Chains A and B, each alone.
Chain A
Amino acid sequence: MYNVTTFHLGPDGRRASASSESADRGEFNAAELTVLLDAFTEIDPVDNEELDPHILAAGRVAKLIIRTSRGRLQVYDGRDHAAPAVEMTVPAILERLDQLPESVSPLPADAEAGQPPPTAPHRGIAFAMLLVGLALNGYILYSVFYVESVNKKPDVKLITDSDELKTRQGVLAGVYATGGRVGDRVIEVSPTGNIRFYEIGAKGPINDTTDTYRMGRHDGLLCLSTPGSGVVDLVGETLVYFKDVYQKRRPSPKE
């Protein structure tokens, strides 16, 4: 049973009444309360807006304030006025009045079953937009900071066979030069994996740098691959470095 009090509501529940400020309707059973609530949803919207008719129903567990809007029932917790309204069906209201709220669903069971599982489409869109934004930022940063270098090193496959390496380095070691005048360049290759580059200057070597090398192959050519000085190709008995040809002058440099 439910204790029912109506406010600004006529006896049949279908019309708002300015004169009937509050009326204690006594105890209603579920069927009677269902009839009243069904009638309440048919109330004239203008009167509803003007007089704010509502029903206070108290069950075994809950006390609910029920208002109507556009044929639907809006339910407030009678003991928690700060709680927001929840749209409920009549059976759900009856259940809510007698059961703890945790077990109550505001929607009919069949309606709930018919609904698709809750999804988060907005989160999906937001995530996709985030990814697009990150990709764009990445591209902009790449475009700004990317420098296409003129120093492109060929793909060198290093010789790993120790016997071949030893033989080739022994044969290769020597002093190579573009000539013997001021302005000519020299490459000294040691059998131990060191390499020296310099230019013959007016007063001795200039632009003098040293590096290490490992032997390898690229595009069918034997070569010396260095970490900081690029690649020196072996073409016959000569070295080719940045298109300049270096002839062998002496078999081996001084270590």
Chain B
Amino acid sequence: MNDLRVYAGAFQAYAQEHGDWPPGGTPPGTFPPGMEGYLSQTNWERITPIGGYYQFATQSPQGGGRYAAVIIIASVGANRVSSDSIQLSDIDRKFDDGNLSTGNFFLGYRNYPVFVMEH
């Protein structure tokens, strides 16, 4: 799951250079437009280690709040993201505060993991 840190770094690099986040609105597993040169397309489009696909989203409503820029790990069809609370909590402990309801890593829409880059 170190991918998330790498991807977040790439998006932040883009934001620093362009003064804003790249446009959202792409489906999970689809390479975000404008991220060429910042992000490996092959890595982004592959299935994540916990199932599902990565999705970059802006102004995303999640868990009752709205976030300016997030990376979501979302299920697509039969490719489901893990719902194992032990596994997800373990990731949260490594990334964040260990609580799947709070912090920068939490469960949002449909309990998909959300990594917040900007609130």
Seen from chain A, the residues whose Cβ lies within 8 Å of a Cβ on chain B are 147-151, 178-179, 181-185, 200-203, 206-207, 229-230, 241-245
Q: Scan residues 55-108 of chain B and give those whose CB is less than 8 A from a CB of chain A.
A: 57-64, 74, 83-86, 88, 100, 107-108
Contacting residues, chain B, for A202 (C-beta < 8 A)? 23-26
A182 with B111, Cβ < 8 A, contacts A150-B83, A150-B88, A206-B27 known:
no
Size of the B side of the interface (Cβ < 8 Å), in residues, is: 26
Q: Which residues of A contact B64 (CB under 8 A)?
A: 243-245
Given A147-B84, A148-B86, verify A244-B24 contact (CB < 8 Å). no
Whole-angstrom distance between the Cβ of A150 and the nearest chain B Cβ: 5
Which B residues touch A201, using CB under 8 A? 25-27
- A182 in contact with B110 (CB, 8 Å): no
Interchain CB contact under 8 A, B83 and A182: no
Looking at chain A's contact residues, is the secondary structure mostly helix, strand, loop, or mixed?
loop
Contacting residues, chain B, for A179 (C-beta < 8 A): 59, 61
Cβ–Cβ < 8 Å partners of B110 in chain A = 229-230, 242
Cβ of A242 and Cβ of B84 under 8 Å apart? no
| A177 CB → nearest B CB, Å | 10
Chain B contacts of A151 at CB under 8 A? 83, 111
Smallest CB gap from B58: residue in A: A183
Contacts of B38 in A (CB 8 A): none
Q: Is the CB of B85 within 8 A of A182?
A: no
Q: Do B63 and A244 have beta carbons less than 8 Å apart?
A: yes
On whether the beta carbons of A182 and B27 are closer than 8 Å, the reply is no
- Measured between alpha carbons, how far is A182 from B61 in the docked complex, in Å? 11
* A-B residue pairs in contact (CB < 8 Å), sample of 9: A147-B83, A150-B107, A181-B59, A183-B61, A185-B61, A200-B25, A201-B27, A202-B23, A243-B64
